[in-house]
């Protein structure tokens, strides 16, 4: 019985000593963690507002805000552990080795993230713009950290890894495109009348933009024909429909005005001498 009492007294004494020694440190560590948590929330809100002003994609913006909050919470955790007297060097060394292994195993993923951040901050294109890159083209539907989603004109979706975009030659059409059409008329036809007729057709189409001004002019000359280029500007969704409508209207207009197409064959006369 006396031995049990002595053991209890010794345990109580040990607990008191530990409380005196580590109690204040534990309280300070808890306060540091609490302060880091609330500081992370506040700074995250500030960063979220700032990122909102530069119009980032919502998923990317949310992820970046979360990363900022985790970084602040991680710093507060390190400070709390240091306050408790924990030796962080072995922990840091272990995390470094583990991080190197994870980085080697996820080179492609990390490359996509780095490329995604490059796209987000340099903004070579935005959602809603029409781009052509790495052999494909379409309208940008979403920009994420790992990939970019592009909708094709055939209503299919193309997912392009971001690392395939950064460093490539990119053609950004923006919100509008220029139609590249043309027609050949017979060299004997009235050129001025043909240009006027085509200009009237283009201006009458409601899909054609008034600015930038459409280009209509002579581009090629051959022995029997005159090639006229027709290049109006339209919005991206109207590209295919406008091309069809303008071509149909031009065919009807030049036929109605009596403008001839170039002859499809040549007649060769052989004269015996």
Tell me the domain boundaries of the chain. 2-86, 122-174, 176-256
Query: For domain 122-174, which architecture applies?
Result: Roll (2.30)
41: alpha, beta or left, given left = phi > 0 and alpha = psi -120 to 50?
A: alpha
Helices (H), 84-173: 88-105, 107-122
Nearest of 235, 200, 198 to residue 217 by alpha carbon: 198
- Does residue 212 have a cis peptide bond before it, meaning omega lies within 30 degrees of 0? yes
d(CA 130, CA 135): 14
Residue 206 has a pLDDT of 93
Query: Could you give the CA distance from residue 92 to residue 76 in angstroms, rounded to a whole number?
Result: 15
Size of the chain in residues: 273
Residue ranges for the chain with pLDDT beneath 50: none
Position 19 scores a pLDDT of 60
Q: Using CA atoms, how far apart are residues 133 and 128, in angstroms rounded to an integer?
A: 15
Cross-strand partners of 142: 149
What is the pLDDT at residue 269? Answer: 58
- Residue range 2-86, CATH number: 1.10.287
- Say how far apart CA 230 and CA 234 lie, in whole Å: 13
**What is residue 61's predicted lDDT score, i.e. its pLDDT?**
73
Q: Which pLDDT belongs to residue 23?
A: 65
**Cα–Cα distance measured from residue 33 to residue 7, given in angstroms and rounded to the nearest whole number:** 36
pTM for the complete prediction? 0.60
pLDDT of 99 reads: 59
**CATH match of 176-256 with 3.30.70.100:** yes
Which DSSP state fits 124?
S
């Amino acid at each position: 019985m006396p031995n049990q009492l002595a053991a209890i007294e010794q345990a109580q004494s040990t607990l008191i000593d530990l409380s005196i020694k580590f109690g204040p440190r534990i309280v300070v560590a808890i306060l540091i963690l609490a302060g880091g948590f609330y500081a992370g929330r506040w700074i995250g809100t500030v960063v979220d507002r700032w990122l909102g002003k530069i119009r980032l994609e919502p998923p990317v913006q949310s992820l970046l805000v979360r990363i900022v909050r985790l970084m602040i919470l991680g710093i507060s955790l390190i400070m709390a552990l240091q306050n408790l007297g924990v030796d962080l060097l072995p922990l840091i060394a272990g995390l470094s080795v583990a991080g190197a292994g994870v980085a080697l195993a996820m080179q492609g993923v990390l490359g996509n993230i780095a490329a995604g951040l490059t796209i987000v901050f340099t903004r070579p294109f935005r959602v809603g713009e029409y781009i052509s890159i790495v052999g494909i083209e379409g309208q940008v539907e979403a920009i994420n950290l790992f990939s970019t989603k592009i909708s094709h004109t055939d209503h299919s979706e193309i997912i392009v890894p971001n690392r395939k975009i950064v460093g490539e030659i990119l053609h950004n059409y923006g919100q509008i495109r220029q139609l590249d059409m043309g027609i050949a008329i017979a060299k004997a036809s009235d050129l001025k009348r043909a240009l006027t007729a085509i200009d009237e057709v283009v201006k009458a189409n409601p899909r054609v933009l008034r600015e930038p001004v459409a280009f209509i002019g002579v581009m090629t000359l051959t022995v029997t024909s005159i090639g006229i280029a027709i290049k109006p500007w339209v919005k991206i969704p109207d590209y295919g429909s406008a091309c069809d409508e303008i071509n149909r209207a031009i065919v009807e207009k030049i036929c109605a005005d009596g403008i001839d197409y170039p002859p499809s064959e040549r007649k060769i006369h052989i004269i015996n001498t």
